[in-house]
């Protein structure tokens, strides 16, 4: 285990220069220059020291950061191995710059997952992680933690090769109009920032006497976006298709997909003039998208086969407040 020897050498030389709140191990499968692992060690160490100082909470267990060479699917905290993993993939199509190590905010985000799992091991079990709200809170608080340490407009600007950021902090996203752990997490982090929450609120969520819930975290919010069934909701239907829980729809060449979006009363009350717009990274375009009314769209296939991801953004007063992702495809579908 050469990494262990490396780590022990590194730790022994760095421990004095950067006394750490908790024991840190770096497993370097790549063999990076020692200055780089030293920088990672220092960033992680300072992050955890700040956590203890700002919250008054003490970390008990060691935290391992792994720089993985192969078989690595994404940068992130691995809830099974309980390691922060850095690699050249992020689960998507965009290449990650230098294993994600250039982005201090991403390092801090992933470390906060490790911290959360030290305090709340019960919510880091695979069964508990199936819950959408739990995941959204994990992602939103990790983003918020990175923000509290260094307030900025965007999260993860030094992460992708193409320079795009992972998320924004200032968008007035409505939690109930977003989807996925990171989308809902972005809405949550933005609300925490906007409403002036701070270190004591993060700390409260880590203590088992409080439930790991939006209600425990958001003690002073009056936003209907976190009000459960009374929240703004955008329903939709696709003509002649059963509703897909994963929002995936196939059509045949020459047969249009006809979408109708249906805002509930709470949405209409909060955002009376919501604008819907479609976007897709599919090239060449798979569909001609025609808008028949503010909430009705007709997607005419432009090719005989293909599939891609589509995003419908909901804008209010010129700002995106929510979105829905679709996966749409065209193929010859045999008649039933
Ligand atoms: Zn995360």
Count the alpha carbons within 13 Å of 217 in the hemisphere toward its beta carbon.
Answer: 25
pLDDT for the residue 141: 98
Q: Is 250 helix (H, G, I), strand (E, B) or coil?
A: strand
Domains of the chain: 2-225 (1.10.390), 234-330 (2.60.40.10)
Ligand 1 centroid, distance to 68 Cα (angstroms)? 17
Ligand 1 centroid, distance to 116 Cα (angstroms)? 11
pLDDT 10s digits, 125-139: 999 999 999 999 999
pLDDT 10s digits, 139-180: 999 999 999 999 999 999 999 989 889 999 989 999 999 999
pLDDT for the residue 4: 42
Rounded average pLDDT over 194-209: 95
Ligand 1 centroid, distance to 107 Cα (angstroms)? 10
Ligand 1 centroid, distance to 163 Cα (angstroms)? 19
Q: How far apart are alpha carbons 7 and 253 in whole angstroms?
A: 58
Ligand 1 centroid, distance to 183 Cα (angstroms)? 11
Count the alpha carbons within 13 Å of 215 in the hemisphere toward its beta carbon.
Answer: 4
Ligand 1 centroid, distance to 110 Cα (angstroms)? 6
Ligand 1 centroid, distance to 145 Cα (angstroms)? 11
pLDDT for the residue 1: 37
Ligand 1 centroid, distance to 251 Cα (angstroms)? 35
DSSP E strand stretches across the chain: 24-28, 63-67, 74-78, 83-90, 154-155, 167-168, 234-238, 248-251, 257-263, 275-280, 287-293, 296-301, 306-316, 319-330
In this structure, what is the dihedral angle of CA atoms 243, 175, 190, 132, given to the nearest 10 degrees?
Answer: -70
pLDDT for the residue 73: 84
Is the predicted pLDDT of residue 16 greater than 70, yes or no? no
Residue 307: φ, ψ to 5°: -150, 160
pLDDT band at residue 70, thresholds of 50, 70 and 90?
confident
pLDDT 10s digits, 282-303: 889 999 999 999 999 999 999 9
Q: How far apart are alpha carbons 307 and 287 in whole angstroms?
A: 10
pLDDT for the residue 220: 87
Q: Are 143 and 181 in contact (CB under 8 A)?
A: no
Ligand 1 centroid, distance to 106 Cα (angstroms)? 8
User: 184: buried, middle or exposed (CB in 10 Å: 19+, 13-18, 0-12)?
Assistant: buried
Query: pLDDT over 70 for what percent of the chain?
Result: 94
pLDDT band at residue 231, thresholds of 50, 70 and 90?
very high
Ligand 1 centroid, distance to 143 Cα (angstroms)? 8
pLDDT 10s digits, 307-319: 999 999 999 999 9
Ligand 1 centroid, distance to 78 Cα (angstroms)? 10
pLDDT 10s digits, 260-285: 999 999 999 999 999 999 999 888 99
**CB count in 10 Å sphere of residue 239:** 11
**Residue-averaged pLDDT of the chain:** 91
Q: Are 185 and 172 in contact (CB under 8 A)?
A: no
List the one residue out of 155, 33, 159 whose CA is nearest residue 91: 159
Is the predicted pLDDT of residue 45 greater than 90, yes or no? yes
Query: pLDDT over 90 for what percent of the chain?
Result: 81
């Amino acid at each position: 285990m050469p990494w262990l020897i490396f780590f022990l050498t590194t730790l022994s030389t760095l421990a004095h220069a950067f006394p750490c709140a908790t024991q840190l191990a770096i497993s370097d499968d790549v063999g990076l220059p020692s200055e780089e692992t030293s920088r990672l060690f220092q960033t992680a160490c300072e992050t955890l020291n700040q956590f203890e100082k700002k919250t008054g909470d003490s970390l008990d267990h060691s935290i391992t950061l792994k720089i993985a060479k192969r078989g690595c699917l994404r940068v992130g905290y691995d809830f099974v191995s309980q390691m922060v993993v850095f690699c050249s993939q992020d689960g998507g199509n965009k290449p990650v710059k230098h294993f994600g190590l250039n982005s201090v905010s991403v390092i801090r985000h992933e470390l906060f997952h490790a911290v959360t799992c030290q305090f709340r091991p019960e919510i880091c079990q695979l069964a508990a992680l199936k819950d959408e709200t739990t995941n959204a809170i994990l992602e939103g608080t990790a983003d918020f933690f990175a923000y509290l340490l260094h307030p900025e407009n965007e999260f993860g600007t030094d992460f992708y090769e193409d320079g795009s950021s992972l998320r924004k902090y200032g968008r007035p996203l409505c939690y109930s109009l977003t989807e996925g752990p990171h989308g809902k997490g972005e809405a949550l982090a933005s609300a925490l920032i906007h409403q002036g929450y701070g270190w004591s609120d993060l700390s409260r969520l880590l203590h088992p006497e409080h439930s790991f819930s939006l209600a425990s975290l958001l003690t002073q919010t009056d936003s209907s976006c976190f009000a459960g069934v009374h929240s703004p909701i955008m329903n939709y239907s696709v003509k002649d298709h059963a509703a897909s829980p994963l929002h995936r729809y196939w059509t045949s060449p020459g047969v249009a997909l006809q979408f109708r979006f249906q805002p509930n009363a709470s949405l209409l009350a909060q955002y009376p003039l919501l604008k819907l717009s479609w976007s897709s990274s599919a090239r060449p375009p798979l569909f001609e998208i025609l808008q028949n009314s503010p909430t009705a769209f007709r997607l005419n296939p432009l090719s005989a086969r293909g599939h891609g991801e589509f995003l419908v953004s909901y804008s209010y007063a010129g700002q995106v407040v929510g979105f829905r992702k679709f996966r749409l495809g065209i193929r010859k579908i045999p008649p039933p």
